[in-house]
Structure 1
Amino acid sequence: MHNEYFQISNESGIAHLQLNRPDRFNTMGLAFFTGLRDAVLTLDDAGDTRALVISSAGKHFSAGMALDVFTGTTDVFDNSSPRARLGFQHALRNLMDCFDALDQVRFPVICAIQGGCIGGGLDLAVACDIRICTTDAFFALQETQIGMTADLGVLQRLPKIIPAGVARQMAYTSERLSAERALAVGLVNAVLPDAEALLRHAMELAGTIASKSPLAVAGCKTAINFARDHSTSESLRHMALLQSAIFDTHDLAEAISAWHGERQGRFDALSPLTTRETGNPR
């Protein structure tokens, strides 16, 4: 699948979505958001994707929302009247839903970041399960620099990934966070020397995930995401319900057999999802 903003492939259960507008620093127009959401949910609907890697072409991961979205003729951000503001709220919620899709799909999403990861690019990155970057990567909440508050999820997700004080400083000042500092505070799991090594590491990590039972991995993602937003007590009750629903003795036996036999496990794909209307969020 190819469009103006990215290209996507899927091989042996490992999907790769590459931002592909390097001449414009992989900035995001409005069509990017629905395209991303639909592509990611389509992968999830099929049931055979085990992991997704998101990377970029060019020097920078993404400079965020294209400025012409704010300065163009679109009325999406019209706040001139109460009715217009209600429409603004609805449009903004739809944009948020597009990054929420990365959180909601059953497979892990790995974000491989090179160069600048700015504004909406950081909104995207923190909605992913795992982030890795190159030594030249940097991260910035640029919105205060242009006189607005970040609004697509980074202010809600980032303080749950890194220390709240660091997230606040980034938000209030638009200061850049270096790759070294990002590793130190837990924003990224690894720093690689260049883009080639970055993508290789991301694909190897995706391969490791893809070798596990997709049901077990999906259960891990569901449990971790629930625990992020609930108390330990609530999360344990949720875990009991979740495990009683997804515990699979076949996958358990196959995983142990493969481990002892030093071979690759053979696990069924997840069931396809058929309840979503094409082009609409779940």
Structure 2
Amino acid sequence: MDGKDFFSLSCGDDGVAHLLLNRPERLNTMAPAFFPALRDAVRGLHDSGAARVLLISSTGKHFCAGMALETFAGQGAMLDTRTARARLSFQDSLRRLMDCFTALDEARFPVICAIQGGCIGGALDLAAACDIRYVAADAFFSVQEINIGMAADLGVLQRLQQIMPAGLARELAYTGERLSAERALACGLVNAVLPDADALLAHALAVARQIAAKSPLAIAGSKLALNHARDHGVAASLQQMTLLQSAIFDTAEMGEAILAWKSKTAADFAPLAEIGRL
């Protein structure tokens, strides 16, 4: 299996990249091959500089039902914890899985997640690593892992209580109960609830295009600053900002932005530079 078995990926001339989960007949579940395919797709966009924002959406009734359950039935090396050597290897395998969603958090462009129906198990790990979440009215979230006898381990326990009240995050983690779209909006997990999947996609695309029209240099700098401030104290984050701003401050870019803003026209910003590969 490769990425084409799980999703399609496109990037328009406007800088909006769209990753569409496309296994509705399997509830868009994630098999092991999904994770490196997602990581490589996101990091490919990151390296190319062409994408200014990434929208992740899906097809069918549910956004994603999480990890395919048959994955846990296997006894391959990835799940083997019977010996000390196996457990050491398990740790590396798990770190690599975590890194596949961390790629979303570390991307130098914002990532928007548009969710209809269920966002279950590993799908919530994915959504929590995104910058912005929008949902359809039928959406719901569940930390499903606790219902199958395991602790969620791909980032949701670490990220969720930074997005929403810690007590509610813990309630979800301990009970596995569903969080509705309305309650997700009330607690700050999502930014907006739209009537249906069509309205959801239209809204998410409109915001994506709005972001893509801004200076990609300023957007990338803003995400770096926001992520650093999330993970560090105010004093350390202000110090990081002095270094970051000295690196990205560009009066020509600002002049282009100010002229476009005053004239109410679209600015013509250059894309970010491609990142060379070793």
TM-score, normalised via structure 2 length = 0.98
Residue 75 of structure 1, CA deviation: 2.2
Pairing 1:1-282 to 2, within 5 Å after superposition? 3-12=4-13, 13-275=15-277
The secondary structure found in structure 1 opposite 2:5 is: coil
Distance 2:269 2:246 in 1: 19
Instruction: Map Cα deviations across residues 239-272 of structure 1 (whole Å, 9 max, x no partner).
Output: 0110011001011001000011110011110000
Amino acid at match of 1:188: V
The secondary structure found in structure 1 opposite 2:134 is: strand
Distance 1:230 1:97 in 2: 20
Distance 1:211 1:14 in 2: 9
Distance 1:5 1:172 in 2: 30
Distance 2:260 2:243 in 1: 28
Instruction: Map Cα deviations across residues 139-173 of structure 1 (whole Å, 9 max, x no partner).
Output: 00011110000000000000000000000000000
Amino acid at match of 1:22: P
- Give ranges in structure 1 of 5+ residues lacking alignment: 277-282
Distance 2:116 2:259 in 1: 39
Amino acid at match of 1:45: D
The secondary structure found in structure 1 opposite 2:4 is: coil
The secondary structure found in structure 2 opposite 1:160 is: helix
Aligned 8 A contact 2:221 2:244 in 1: yes
CA RMSD of superposed structures (Å): 1.0
- Give ranges in structure 2 of 5+ residues lacking alignment: none
The secondary structure found in structure 1 opposite 2:77 is: coil
Instruction: Map Cα deviations across residues 98-146 of structure 1 (whole Å, 9 max, x no partner).
Output: 0000011100000000000011000000000000000000000011110
TM-score, normalised via structure 1 length = 0.96
Aligned 8 A contact 2:6 2:22 in 1: yes
Residue 48 of structure 1, CA deviation: 1.4
Residue 2 of structure 1, CA deviation: 5.7
Distance 1:150 1:203 in 2: 30
* Aligned-residue identity in percent: 62
The secondary structure found in structure 1 opposite 2:79 is: coil
Aligned 8 A contact 2:30 2:68 in 1: yes
Aligned 8 A contact 2:3 2:38 in 1: no
Distance 1:163 1:137 in 2: 19
Residue 72 of structure 1, CA deviation: 2.0
The secondary structure found in structure 2 opposite 1:76 is: helix
Distance 2:263 2:135 in 1: 35
Distance 2:76 2:265 in 1: 55
Residue 275 of structure 1, CA deviation: 3.0
Distance 1:2 1:173 in 2: 33
